Structure 1
Amino acid sequence: MKKALKIVLLAAFTLAVLGNTNAQEKEKSKSVVSVEEKNGKSIVKAPGVKVEVDEFNDTITKITIGSRRFEVIEDYNRSRIRMVRVPREKFKGHWAGCDIGFNGYMTSDFSTDLPSDALFMDLNGSKSVTFSINFLQYNIGLQRHKNNFGMVLGAGWTFYNYRTDQPYTFERDTETGQTIGVPVPAERSVEKNKITTSFINIPLLFEYQFPSSEPFHRFYISAGPYCGFKIGGHTKLVYKENGNRTKDKGKDDINLTPFQYGAMVRVGYRFINLYASYNFSTFYTENRGPELYPFTIGLSLVQF
């Protein structure tokens, strides 16, 4: 029984090593397999795979592949195999993935009530949606013997949609250079009116996960600054006139800020993940439009 079992285990290990060796073919200068013997144990390591054999223990063999470990246990003259998850050894934060949320903005005194000169920017909050693909994440652990506190540096693409539905177009005044709202002719029935922008955002978040004794189901909270660089933006007006439906899309410069910065908070537990961000920079270039500070509240739908 033992001999057959060992043959099966050896075959499984060989296949795992071969699979991982293929992924490492370009690293010619690195050793693929290492063997170590100490205290009656034999340990074989390869990229992504580890096998431990201990004839003096009930658990005679442990095969670790990625985050899964298969343990061969012998007791009462029988053998059985169980699978366990291996706690990660390094800190891993929560940034990479896909987010969806709702946009808004506040005045300098943190009010959502807009002043009279900014009423043309009054939002339809339920339709002002943002979507993000956070494609890059770099984890930096800040503890030597634990993995539940660290920094996260990342990058992501975010599409912001500010829906107003107000009967105004967004234009840049030729005399003052400021962004103003120009009334739409009364014979046009406005169905949709919005400003869209897209940014590459770069956050630097400090994240704490607890309890530290639970490696798989931790609550986490992260917070820190971020900055973003605008890569696009346009306006869109949809209206009906004389029974005809018309779409006007504009890419004129209306003083949208090319650089944003602010603070972000992210919290979550298992599949429930929330985030909020607030810009310290204004929606328009300073002194070139109403003084409004964007914010976003949303959910992380998918995490990488």
Structure 2
Amino acid sequence: MRPRITLVFAAVLCLGLQFSQAQIKISKEAKTDSTERKVRAEIDINVGKDDKDDEKKITYPRTFGGITFSRVDWGFSRLVDNGSFTLSEGNKNLDYKKASNFGFDVAQFGVRFSDVFKVYASAGFEWNYLRLENDILLLKDVTPLEFADLDPNSKYKKNVFTSTYLRLPLSFELRSHKLNNGKRLKFAFGAMTGVLLKGTQRLKSEEFGKQKYKDTYNLATFQYGGFARIGYDNFGLFTKYYINDMFEKSPAQEGVRNLTFGLTLGF
């Protein structure tokens, strides 16, 4: 009897393990599908009349618009000083270790003229970050822009200068016909303007901890320039160049402009 009981027990155990493994596999697949749906939603959320291709019969031209969370740009920035990536002697206080750019759109309205071409205006926010090389403080309520040296006895771990703008781009977008997998290639270009919301300098040191200062710092009240995006499905690359000076009423900073480039999600 005992050998039979042992064989039955072994068989039940094997079946149980196989069933358990099947459950784990199904659970993982379901979790993966859920994660993929969530990621796609996070980079392309729209509330309003959307620009989708799932209609049985599509007529052109057609309008679309509403609340959105799309065209999320994240990349690098470079200051261009009168055509050079090297800052002049008068702008050495703006030397930086790293510079980055982040932005996204929150509203849009446009017209699709055909399956491959549309025009739309949008609104969103944009931040440009300069991690300054030197231990300097940008002075508030001073025109033109002036700097002061920070306490040399304090060890500053962080010195970041940030500009925040409301961005207002006008886009012209071309896309290919659907590929075999249903995806498309896309190319967009246009003009972009921005309205200054604030300038911020954040400091961090062992002696004083975190410090935060807000002012316009003579940043351009309005910025304007051009941009281009190229991508596949929801992902792409972008570049933006602002053709006006980064600062205003500051002769020493004349000709200092901003170039950005990086990745776009929700394109």
- Return the TM-score normalized by structure 1: 0.61
Contact 1:161 1:197 in 2 (8 A): yes
Partner of 2:97: 124
Tell me, what secondary structure is at the counterpart of 2:217?
coil
Give me the whole-angstrom Cα distance separating, in 1, the residues matched to 2:227 and 2:169.
8
Q: Does the C-alpha gap of structure 1 residues 214 and 199 become closer, same or farther in structure 2, counting only changes over 3 Å?
A: farther
Partner of 1:178: 144
Partner of 1:114: 87
Question: 1:161 aligned to 2:129?
Answer: yes
1:140 maps to which of 105, 111, 117: 111
Partner of 2:174: 208
Question: 1:96 aligned to 2:67?
Answer: no
Which structure is larger by alpha-carbon Rg, 1 or 2?
A: 1
Sequence identity (%): 22
Partner of 2:259: 295
Partner of 2:22: none
Counterpart of 2:110 in structure 1: which amino acid? N
Give me the whole-angstrom Cα distance separating, in 2, the residues matched to 1:108 and 1:87.
52
C-alpha deviations, 1:104-162, integer Å up to 9, x for none?
210122x110001111111222xx332223111222234xxx31012121111112222
Counterpart of 1:106 in structure 2: which amino acid? V
C-alpha deviations, 1:236-258, integer Å up to 9, x for none?
22223xxx352232124421111
1:239 maps to which of 205, 229, 247: 205
Contact 1:180 1:289 in 2 (8 A): no
Task: Identify unmatched segments of 5+ residues in structure 2.
Answer: 1-51
1:275 maps to which of 234, 238, 261: 238
Contact 2:77 2:258 in 1 (8 A): yes
Structure with more helix by fraction: 2
Partner of 1:250: 213
Partner of 1:199: 165
CA deviation after TM superposition for structure 1 residue 96, in Å: 2.9
Contact 2:102 2:126 in 1 (8 A): yes
Aligned runs of 1:29-48 on 2, under 5 Å? Answer: none
